[in-house]
Structure 1
Amino acid sequence: MFQFNPYSPAVDADPFPFYKRLRDDYPAFWSTEANMWVLSRHADILTALNDWETYSSASGNLMDEFPGRAGATLGTTDPPRHDRLRALIQKAVTKRALDHIVEPTRAVTNAHLDAIAGEESFDFVTDVSSKITVDLMVYLFNLPKDGQDIMRDKAVLMVQSDPTTRSKGPEHMAAYKWMTEYAANLIAERKKAPGEDLMSQFITAEIDGEKLDDREVQMTVTTLIMAGIESLSGFLTMFALNLADHPEARRQLVANPELIPDAMEESLRFNTSAQRFKRCLKKDVELHGETLKAGDFVCLAYGAGNRDERRFEDPDIYNIARKPRGHLGFGGGVHACLGTAIARLATKIIFEEFLKRVPEYSRVQEQLPWMPSTTFRSPTRLDLRIG
């Protein structure tokens, strides 16, 4: 009997055969292990993303949610409160903020590429992607430069599940507690002496006399540090992996760096690191012969929708000329990822420099170690051989 268990190491390693079976035979599937429905077709996921009144985020959006997070972040609120939060946070994430990260991103990328110069091989995760994303968060939020390794370790633990029990364990809860307290202490300091950083902008952003309250600032900062470090690192790693597995595409980008944005969008479609998020039904839904009841949780399997042949021609082929409009790599609807512009700009700059410095590389490992996570998917290590 077919089962789809998002806690399974087999799904971590290769979810796509499971996704195809779901799309073809069980487009509205009840997962006993996850205790929720799974939607796998692009059209159904897009409908859910655009219908927040039916598919609510207010009970949390992570497959395994942290206590106290629901209702205090953009991803875990619905309109009209969501619209207020988004407007205030968007006020801080301006074009000026984007312009300011261009040269720092280029500088930190080259600093870490300098460190692997002359090496025969390196781990893209440890030596490149995670170091760059930590440095970017330090710059954007004006974080203390000491303790960066601890901050990265906590961010990684927050997105993972226990590899044995496949649920949030004590170490994951402790990492979440550490990050929220870390954010709270920094916010208290920044309120006394605000600067030009993003955290200060969140604190001081005001529309019609209204500001974010302390808990909203704390949870926003906590979520963005986690996502900025680990989600962005995961996507960078998946992009590097795609280009290792498709050398002709990589060589096209080396010869024509202006194609990097298109290749980046295809990577977001083909192998997104953001695989699955959840919603809670506010009313009954009849779908594909099933009755999804009010109060049921629903998994929106972005990674499955991005490989749906009903939406994308030859979806299992990595084609950097595709220009995949409507992919779900950054979600969609009112809860589309707020950090999209920063992530796209940073990734473009990082890969311009990376491919300039490392134009030829190949995978060392045949079998990759995959992060145990119900929501995100990326290797915990990606060893690359230069040349």
Structure 2
Amino acid sequence: MFRFDPYSPAIDADPFPAYKTLRDEHPCFWSEEAGMWVYSRYADIVTALNDWETYSSAKGNLVDELPNRAGNTLGTTDPPRHDRLRALIQKAVTKRALNYLEAPTQAVCGKHLDALAGAKSFDFVNDFSSKVTVDLLFFLFNMPTEGQQTVRDKAVLMVQTDPKTRKKGPEHIEAYEWMANYAADLVAERKKNPGDDLLSNFITAEIDGEKLKDKEVQMTVTTLIMAGIESLSGFMSVFGMNLADHPDARRALVADPSLIPDAMEESLRYNTSAQRFRRCVQKDVAIHGQTMKAGDFVMLAYGAGNRDERQFANPDVYDIARRPKGHLGFGGGVHACLGTAIARLACKITFETFLGRYPEFTRVQEQLPWVPSSNFRSPLKLELAVD
């Protein structure tokens, strides 16, 4: 009997054979382990993402939701409240042109690459990508640099599940509560001392006389710290892994760095770190011979949809010339990731810099340790041997 267990280490290591079985034989599947239905076909996932009235985010979008988060973040609200939040947050994010990030990103990458000079091998995740993303986040929010490692550790814990129970454990909930308190302190301090930074923009953003409430700023900052540290680092780490595993693609990027943006998009399709998110069905839905009842949760398996041959030809091939329009690496619908432009720019500059310094590298580990998470998939460590 086929089972789909999103908490299984085997799924962390390689979910794609199970995804294919789901798509071909069980496109609407009840997972006992998750306690929810699973959508695996691209068209069904896109339909759900575009129909927020049927597939609501208001009860949480994480497969294992954190307490007091649902209904209090941009990703866990539905229109019309979602539209108000998104408009104000979007105004804050786009207040300055993105090109102001180029020089700081290059400087941060250079600093951490200089620290690796002379090393024959290093851990791409812990020695480079996570450090780059933490530094960039602290720059964007103008956060006090002391305690950077603690902030990074708490952000990583927030997205994880317990390695044994594969559920959110006390340490993950504590990390979330710590981060929410940390964000509240940041908001209070910045209201007293506003500056030229993203956090100040959240506080001052205004549309028709309306601003974000302090609680809304706090929850936005909490979410963006988590996403900025773990999701962006995961995006970069998976991209680095793909280039290590596909040397011809890597050498093409070294020869012509203008190909890096297309290669990034293919990585987001081929091996996205954002694998699975959930919605709550607001009415009975009959699909693929199954009936989901109002109140049921459904898991949208982005990683499966991105490998759906009904949408993408030869989906198991990593092809940097593909230009995969409509991939699900940043979600979609009203909840499409708000930080896509920042993430794309940061990743592009990071890999231009990294490949300029290390055009040749190979993966040391045959079997990688993976972040234990029902939502995300990225390596905990990625040891690279460099030439």
Shorter-chain TM-score tier: over 0.9
Alpha-carbon distance, 1:97 to partner: 4.7
Alpha-carbon distance, 1:68 to partner: 1.2
Alpha-carbon distance, 1:190 to partner: 0.5
Aligned partners of 1:252, 1:384: CA distance in 2, in Å? 19
Q: Which residue of 1 aligns with 2:369?
A: 369
Q: Does 1:134 align with 2:134?
A: yes
Aligned partners of 2:122, 2:257: CA distance in 1, in Å? 23
Alpha-carbon distance, 1:299 to partner: 0.2
Aligned partners of 1:386, 1:51: CA distance in 2, in Å? 47
Structure 1, gaps ≥5 residues long? none
Structure 2, gaps ≥5 residues long? none
Aligned partners of 1:167, 1:97: CA distance in 2, in Å? 40
Q: Which residue of 1 aligns with 2:253?
A: 253
Q: Which residue of 2 aligns with 1:228?
A: 228
Q: Which residue of 2 aligns with 1:20?
A: 20
- Deviation readout 1:276-322 (Å, 9 max, x if unpaired): 00000011111001001100000000000000000000000000000
Superposed counterparts of 1:351-370, under 5 Å: 351-370=351-370
Q: Which residue of 2 aligns with 1:202?
A: 202
Query: How many pairs align?
Result: 387
Identity between Structure 1 and Structure 2 (%): 74
Aligned partners of 2:211, 2:146: CA distance in 1, in Å? 30
Letter in 2 for 1:246: H
Letter in 2 for 1:305: G
Superposed counterparts of 1:1-387, under 5 Å: 1-94=1-94, 96-387=96-387
Letter in 2 for 1:340: T
- The answer to whether the 8 A contact 2:66-2:173 is kept is yes
- Deviation readout 1:46-103 (Å, 9 max, x if unpaired): 0000000000000010111111111111100111111000000001111625222111
Aligned partners of 2:223, 2:102: CA distance in 1, in Å? 22
Aligned partners of 1:96, 1:252: CA distance in 2, in Å? 33
Letter in 2 for 1:17: P
SS in 1 for 2:67: coil
- The answer to whether the 8 A contact 2:39-2:45 is kept is yes
Aligned partners of 2:97, 2:175: CA distance in 1, in Å? 28
- Deviation readout 1:204-234 (Å, 9 max, x if unpaired): 1111111111111111000000100010000
Aligned partners of 2:374, 2:325: CA distance in 1, in Å? 26
- The answer to whether the 8 A contact 2:95-2:201 is kept is no
Alpha-carbon distance, 1:125 to partner: 0.5
